[in-house]
Amino acid sequence: MAYVTHPNTSVLNTVWNSISDFFTMVSRALTVSAAMDARMQRIETLNAKSDEELQAMNLRRADIPAYVFRDLMHI
């Protein structure tokens, strides 16, 4: 007769890891979404400025997206 002295935790670990991975993925998606919302709001703010205000910032209207996303673009 065989005695089991400890439960098989590999199944529990697999389930727990799957649940943990899901919530990690949701958290990352929300973080990225919030960052994009902030960037889009920044673009709208800059687009609302006059050409003179943009010129004072050394910025052309066509360059606004590149300016806002400059940390993601490696040009």
In angstroms, the CA 4 to CA 13 distance is: 18
Residue 3 lies in a domain: no
- Domain region containing 42: 10-68
Evaluate whether residue 73 is within a structural domain.
Answer: no
Tokens of 3: 């005695």
In-domain check, residue 33: yes
- Asked whether residue 31 is assigned to any structural domain, the reply reads yes
Q: Supply φ then ψ for residue 71, to 5 degrees.
A: -75, -15
- Name the least confident of 7-11, 16-20, 22-26, 49-53: 7-11
Average pLDDT over residues 6-30: 87
Q: How many domains is the chain partitioned into structurally?
A: 1
Which residue, chain included where needed, has tokens 């920044």?
Answer: 42
CA distance 65 to 44: 10
Q: What is the pTM of this model?
A: 0.62
